[in-house]
Amino acid sequence: MITTEIVLEFFSNFILILGLMFVFLGMLGILRLPDVYNRLHATTKIGTLGAFGVMLSILMKVGFTPIGVKAITVGLFLLLTAPVAAHMIGRAAHRHGVDLCDISVIDEYDKTYK
Amino acid sequence: MNSLLLDLSLLFMMVAIIPCVYRVIKGPTIPDRVIAVDAMTTVIVVMLGVYSYVQESVFFMDVALVLAIISFVGTVTISKYLDEGVVL
Amino acid sequence: MKRYLFYSIPLALMWCFVHGSVTIENFIFGMILGPIALRPFMPLFKVGGELSFKDAIVRIPKQAKYFAILIIEILKANIMVARIVISPNIDIKPGIIAVPIDTKTNGGITAIANTITLTPGTLTIDISDDRSVLYVHCIDASDPDGVRTSIKNDLEKYVLEAFE
């Protein structure tokens, strides 16, 4: 049974490092990508999955104790609500008059509500 | 070894907040700032989760849960205000 | 009455998770609290038709298949966006594309919009007034017809199976 613990420990550390990398890359995406809509891609996808990975690794470290169960609840909540928040911000930004960046090639939403 | 990894992860998340702060201060438009605050909340939730494991205390995880909920409600409210000019 | 019981089960599970210990006492207490929390929000659910426990159980294998595909797509999406972020020169062609959909029910539209947001390179912005066209921001919009066919063939099929 000692091997199971070592394998679980290894995997939880691996997922922790992977999740932290993803969160960091998401925040780097906020800095580097050109306009609001592309930044939304970075935060909703990478940031959320990174946070879920960190919470999953905490669950693997502590098992089904109150800390672990609450951690996975936080992770699932982030994973469920991030698309809704991204959808709301994107719609509000477009109707508020934020233009797409210069390298955009197509905008079929522009003519539907003006 | 394990506690060193966790301390380093907290430090790494502190570094990850810096781009968000830059975007909140500099960001050309209001939606940029909303996204940056939302992302900052995600990083703080991750920090609280790791810190809850370091301290072996369940209360930090409660704080993380409530912060995630408040961040979602706040983002939706600000988006609706930008979109329609009213909140309710 | 049946509907209250039906919606109380996920609420009771959520109560157990938020409380931190999944036991039978917590589940029963959540089942007691569920209808009280549901009562003020019931007029918002304009659900048509009968819902039954049998339908919900029959759908479970299809939904499991849908979630398996969703997890693979999420991992692909993350690797793709991460590669764009760390590449030295950001070379993207973003744009907003109108994608017609066949899904009609509220639950189906919500599911497909969230699925599109979590899959590689696409993000739902809005739905048209007659609820037949989704506007999707795409990080590589050089081929609009390819995006439309890939959404229709790869994603919408599984969503229709799982939620309608």
Instruction: Note the pLDDT tens digit of each residue in B13-36.
Output: 888 899 889 989 987 888 889 889
Q: Is the torsion defined by CA of A60, A75, C110, C50 positive or negative?
A: positive
Least CA distance to A64: which residue of chain C? C21
In this predicted structure, what is the pLDDT of residue B67?
Answer: 92
Q: Where are the domains of chain C?
A: 2-57, 60-163
Residues of A in contact with C141 (CB under 8 A): 104-106
Name the strands in the sheet holding A106-107, side by side, starting at the edge strand that comes first in the sequence: A106-107, C95-100, C133-138, C122-127
Q: Would an 8 Å CB–CB cutoff place C85 in contact with chain A?
A: yes
A71 touches A46 (CB < 8 A): no
Selected residues 98-157 of chain C with any CB under 8 Å from a CB in chain A: 98, 113-114, 117-118, 121, 123-126, 128, 135, 137, 139, 141-142, 144
In degrees, rounded to 5, the angle at the alpha carbon of residue C58 between the alpha carbons of residues C54 and C61 is 150
Q: How confident is the model at residue B73 (pLDDT cuts 50, 70, 90)?
A: very high
Nearest-CA distance A81 → chain B (Å): 7
Selected residues 71-90 of chain A with any CB under 8 Å from a CB in chain C: 72-73, 82-84, 86-87, 90
Higher per-residue pLDDT: A107 or C15: C15
- Of the residues B13, B18, B33, B46, the best mutation for testing chain A's interface (the one with the most A CB atoms within 10 Å of its CB) is B46
Exposure letters C82-92 (e unless 16+ CB within 10 A, then b)? bebbeeeeeeb
pTM: 0.87
Question: How many Å separate Cα A85 from the centre of its chain?
Answer: 12
Query: Which residue intervals of chain A are DSSP H helices?
Result: 2-32, 36-41, 48-62, 66-96
In this predicted structure, what is the pLDDT of residue C46?
Answer: 59
Blockwise average pLDDT, block size 10, chain C, 164 residues = 78 87 87 86 65 72 85 85 83 83 79 82 82 83 80 78 72
User: Rounded to an integer, what distance in angstroms lies between the CA atom of residue C86 and that of residue B40?
Assistant: 20
In this predicted structure, what is the pLDDT of residue B71?
Answer: 92
Cβ distance A92 to B53 less than 8 Å, yes or no, reads no
As a whole number, the mean pLDDT across chain B is 88
Cβ distance A85 to B76 less than 8 Å, yes or no, reads yes
Cβ distance A86 to C117 less than 8 Å, yes or no, reads yes
Q: For residue B49, give the nearest of A54, A66, A89 by CB distance.
A: A54
In this predicted structure, what is the pLDDT of residue B44?
Answer: 92
Mean pLDDT lowest among A93-107, B73-87, C56-70, C134-148? A93-107
In this predicted structure, what is the pLDDT of residue A111?
Answer: 65
Average pLDDT of the residues in A12-16: 89
Round the CA-based radius of gyration of chain B to a whole number and report it.
Answer: 16
C51 touches C3 (CB < 8 A): yes
Least CA distance to B39: which residue of chain A? A43
Q: Where are the domains of chain B?
A: 2-84
In this predicted structure, what is the pLDDT of residue A41?
Answer: 85
In this predicted structure, what is the pLDDT of residue A114?
Answer: 58
Report ipTM (2 d.p.): 0.87
User: Residue B48 pLDDT > 80, yes or no?
Assistant: yes
pLDDT tens digit sequence for A55-88:
999 898 888 888 888 888 899 898 888 888 888 8
Beta bridge partners of A106: C95
Cβ distance C74 to A83 less than 8 Å, yes or no, reads no
Cβ distance B61 to A77 less than 8 Å, yes or no, reads no
If DSSP states are collapsed to H, E and C, what string results for chain C?
CHHHHHHHHHHHHHHHHHHCCCCHHHHHHHHHHHHHHHHHHHHHCCCCCCCCHHHHHHCHHHHHHHHHHHHHHHHHHHHHHHHHHHCCCCCCECEEEEEECCCCCHHHHHHHHHHHHHCCCEEEEEECCCCCEEEEEECECCCHHHHHHHHHHHHHHHHHHHHC
Cβ distance A41 to C121 less than 8 Å, yes or no, reads yes
A-C Cβ pairs (cutoff 8 Å, strict): 126
Residues of A in contact with B72 (CB under 8 A): 77, 81, 84-85
